Structure 1
Amino acid sequence: MYFTRNQIHSNFWNYLFLTNSEFLSFINNTINTDLLFGIDKIQAEYEMQWPITNHKIIPAHYIFANSESLSGLNNKKFDSLYTNTRVTDESYYKNELTLLSKFHSYFTDFHDRQSANDVYIKIKHLETERLEHLYEDDKSFKNYFEMIVNRFLERFSDYGTSPSKIVISSFKIILIFAFLFLFSTNSWNKINLNRYNKGITQSINYFTTDATIIKAYEIDENRILQNTNTKAALVTNRNHVPKVFSFFSLLFINTQTKLIEIKLSFWNYLNVVKNSWHELSSFKRVVYSFLIGVLMLGYLLIKVLSILFNALTLSINSFTTLGFGEIPIKGIGRYLAIVEGFIGWIFLTLFSVTLISQILS
């Protein structure tokens, strides 16, 4: 039997029941109407479409089973039946579950994952509505917990059918906690005030005296002196230590000294203030002021990006429960990290289960 490429448009409830046959092709139909729909059994040889219709569906088997009490129904009464009885009447609920389960089993057997997922989501929507009704009648913890779990699965994973939705939700949670961590005391972002004060003092000394940039900022002065003293000690005691030790030690010191000299040459190249700042020409002061401003803004930008990156890293670390050894935050941030870790554990578990189920389906 072929039922294909049909166009059905109506503002009234229509009846469609597919009986058993050796072959059935029910595809490419456009059904824009509410349906009393039924099918005995979906066999492997059948070709079926999903959705049957985007409008309301009442299981025909429910109508058959309750024909005496439901006789004489009109369009408005069918609407009322669908709205008021769908989850409150256990017989109706089970008939609709049976109908949807037939389609889910059919699409699962044919590895049509998209259609199977769509049917499964519809089944779980129906189950959630049923649980909400049961909770209204009996406000027990069991009913409440099952209802909340279903709502959670719907919101974040389409009832375990969408791993990508979990990833997107997880990323949003990570960003939210990263924002909160910005306002928490974090040892990663600790500012060394002594270092900043020393740097400011050295800068003042550089701009107001004739000290070179190397002298003012004490760049590697101690290392040069230390290398010189160590080299002198090695030369003096060359005959009193193993030659191989003396050879490799001198090689190491000479290499280090050469690298320091290259570094100092670079800093000498940047030594633009030869005497003092006020002795520079107006043009040079304008140019150097601009360059110094760019450098300071660049440093500030790097510092801000570092703080943002640290907050994001901390949030990812908490969410994935990788652990820190010691949590690098204090105060309320510690508790936020624990809360995020618990949320992350739930989401990562849900993601793993959802991904595996989709791979194996």
Structure 2
Amino acid sequence: MKFQRIILIGFSCCLISVGFSQDFKQFERLKKRADSALNAKNYSLSSNYYEQAIHLPENEKPEIVGGLYYDMACVYSLGKEKEKALFYLEKSFASFKAKRNTTPVSASHITSDSDLEFIRNEKRFQALLQNAYPHAPLDLLNAKEISYDELLKIIDYLNDDPESKLVGQIKNKVIYWKKENGSYIYNDSPLQLPKLKNERLAFENCTFQLNFVWNNSNKEQTSPYFRMDLDKCSVLGNFNLDEVNFVYPPYFEETTFAKDFYIWLNLEPEHDNRIFRVAGCSFHFAYVNLNTNAPINITLIENVGLDSTDFRITCFNVTGSRINSNKFEKKNFTLALSETGFLGFSGNKFKNIKLLTTSIQSAFDFQNTEISGKLLMYKSSFSDGAANNVEWKDLANSHLGILTEFENDINSGGANDGSILSDKIASYTYTSGENLQDIAVDRNFNELVGLYSMFLNLYKSKSNLESYNSCFIAIKDLQSKRLKYLYESNKTFKTFFRWKLSQLLKFYVNHGTDPAQAIVISLYIIFGFGVFFFFFPSDWDTTSKKKLIQNFKDFIQKNEKGYVIPFFVLSGGFVISLINALTLSLNAFITLGFGNIPTHGIARYFCVIEGFIGWFLLSIFTVALINQVL
């Protein structure tokens, strides 16, 4: 059965207690098995379980009003058993008529129920419809293609149909404006607004060969529509709802919008727990503006961008926004939400994300989202509370930036055919620290550092050391670029020293975030100076290197039995000399002090230089170590 037959499912068993409370375990067990077999498309097995269920003794099954018979008709129709399908369908209608004086489903439902497609053209089926729904426009409900004017007639019928009070459903139709010589002609003006009395107008598996334009700028809408759904539809023209009033925002599920998608909705009166949901849809340009005084939730799941035009959402009263698994690799994705309690991104792919005047009050969740371009913000912020979940590794490649100039609003609802006249790729400028202009202007540089600092404070409050260090390094890299610019603008010793000191800190301790890197570099320095000192005489050597080589030569000349023992003697002397040189280098680097410097020549001066380098670098190392420990 289809999920949309939700009313029918409510009556599918029609369990009415017969004077006392009773459990029908065997009936329920068979019913579940029948449903499982149906879901597995094993129609023969499913019908067998249904037959067993309805033929149980009367005291082992509930009273069956007729909904179960309708389900059995659908199963037999899917199994291509025509006679049994018609038999149980007629029995379902007869039972409902006798016990409820109504029908098991609405006329719009049965005329579009794909489960009954096998028996739809049977005379008994058509006669049943004529008897059960004498006032329904069956020719239109049965039609595969209808004009928009005919759609309005169907809506008028659904408004007065008691069975369609909750949901006015229109399924499996091609809806067009005009048709000439087999070709569809698209409208170049807004469509007539329907009068909707149903709680929900639902289009399922429909194709719109027109520009779906509802324009309420003249305030001709007499009362707000409750809700409208598009599920598994294709809109081949523009889709435009301009200043249309709704109680609840429309739902869009698995629908393709081939051209411009524009909705500017007024949500009234105030209702809580409203959700604007778009899931599994495909878009070209999309612009959404939701005007509401009551909080609303926004959910975008598994949508796809078909080109590089923008996807923009504006709403100034948002409880939470969930942006999950969308693929907009070519699109600029823009959110302008004023204040929102929660903003979550998960599993998305974007070109650029722009947050405009968005203040995130409770939690900012940014996980597994790829941004090939930039994450740009304008007057946007989030708290440093523990509920936030943002890892710097998910942001590092996106190059954070501050928007300086941008366009977001659409000048109007567009042309009469619903197309958007404004730029579909908004122009904007930003500063991200990648070029000279970003760091040359004090205001741009300070705002950019302020943006990074917002993330830095978050990581500090959560004791997330890895993300804190990475963000801190990014800030210091920006400052290093700024120092280079200041030196090139004003070449003095002071600006040169500040710039080079910043580079040194980056090289030695990665701006104070990596004490281990300092130890490795220090060992290289100690070893380098030690090798240098090795070639100079030392007071610590018991035998000079020249004397060791001469003794080796003399020993070889006198010893005809070989040179292995003399070689080891020579090597041992050199190793001791190298250890002395390295010890001297280590002593000088860590500045323990040794009175008279135990080397000669130019090496004595290099020993002093190494001592100064060691004192300076070890001071930096100490600060970096304390910074990481605390």
Provide TM-score, normalisation by structure 2: 0.39
2:433–2:439 contact (8 Å) kept in structure 1: no
Q: Does 1:130 align with 2:469?
A: no
- 2:605 maps to a residue whose letter is Y
**How far, CA to CA, are the matches of 2:444 and 2:377 in structure 1?**
13
Residue 155 of structure 1 is matched in structure 2 by 507
Q: CA deviation at 1:93?
A: 0.3
Cα deviations across residues 88-109 of structure 1 (Å, max 9, x unaligned)?
Answer: 1111101111000111111011
Describe how 1:105-254 pairs up with structure 2 within 5 A. Answer: 105-189=457-541, 191=543
Q: Does 1:104 align with 2:453?
A: no
Distance 1:306 1:79, change over 3 A: same
Q: CA deviation at 1:115?
A: 0.6
Residue 252 of structure 1 is matched in structure 2 by none
Higher RCO (C-alpha 8 Å, min separation 6): 1
Residue 263 of structure 1 is matched in structure 2 by none
| Aligned-partner SS, 1:111 | coil
Residue 8 of structure 1 is matched in structure 2 by 349
Distance 1:111 1:43, change over 3 A: closer
Q: Does 1:49 align with 2:364?
A: no
1:184–1:329 contact (8 Å) kept in structure 2: yes
Describe how 1:73-88 pairs up with structure 2 within 5 A. Answer: 74=427, 82-88=434-440
Residue 242 of structure 1 is matched in structure 2 by none
Residue 37 of structure 1 is matched in structure 2 by 377
| Aligned-partner SS, 1:303 | helix
**How far, CA to CA, are the matches of 1:174 and 1:81 in structure 2?**
37
| Aligned-partner SS, 1:36 | strand
| Aligned-partner SS, 2:615 | helix
Tell me which protein shows more helix as a share of its residues. 1
Cα deviations across residues 102-152 of structure 1 (Å, max 9, x unaligned)?
Answer: 111110111111111111111111111111111111122322221121111
**How far, CA to CA, are the matches of 2:582 and 2:470 in structure 1?**
35
Cα deviations across residues 61-111 of structure 1 (Å, max 9, x unaligned)?
Answer: x447xxxxxx99748x65999524210111110111100011111101111
Provide TM-score, normalisation by structure 1: 0.65
Q: CA deviation at 1:307?
A: 1.5
Tell me which of 291, 297, 303 is aligned to 2:573.
303
**How far, CA to CA, are the matches of 1:203 and 1:63 in structure 2?**
85
Residue 20 of structure 1 is matched in structure 2 by 360
5+ long unaligned stretches in structure 1: 65-70, 208-276, 278-284
Question: How much is the aligned-residue C-alpha RMSD, in angstroms?
Answer: 3.3
**How far, CA to CA, are the matches of 1:14 and 1:43 in structure 2?**
21
**How far, CA to CA, are the matches of 1:93 and 1:132 in structure 2?**
14
Distance 1:82 1:317, change over 3 A: closer
**How far, CA to CA, are the matches of 2:405 and 2:573 in structure 1?**
70
How many residue pairs end up in the alignment? 265
| Aligned-partner SS, 2:360 | coil
**How far, CA to CA, are the matches of 1:137 and 1:352 in structure 2?**
33
- 1:357 maps to a residue whose letter is N
**How far, CA to CA, are the matches of 2:354 and 2:516 in structure 1?**
38
| Aligned-partner SS, 1:310 | helix
Q: CA deviation at 1:31?
A: 2.2
Q: CA deviation at 1:192?
A: 6.7
Q: CA deviation at 1:41?
A: 2.7
**How far, CA to CA, are the matches of 1:169 and 1:87 in structure 2?**
31
Cα deviations across residues 161-211 of structure 1 (Å, max 9, x unaligned)?
Answer: 110111111111111111111222212235379x98xx99x999xx9xxxx
Superposition misfits of 4+ residues, deviation over 4 angstroms: 71-75, 77-82
Tell me which protein shows more strand as a share of its residues. 2
2:402–2:432 contact (8 Å) kept in structure 1: no
Q: CA deviation at 1:355?
A: 0.4
In terms of Rg, which structure is larger?
A: 2
1:157–1:165 contact (8 Å) kept in structure 2: yes
Q: CA deviation at 1:35?
A: 2.9
Q: CA deviation at 1:29?
A: 2.1
Describe how 1:343-354 pairs up with structure 2 within 5 A. Answer: 343-354=613-624
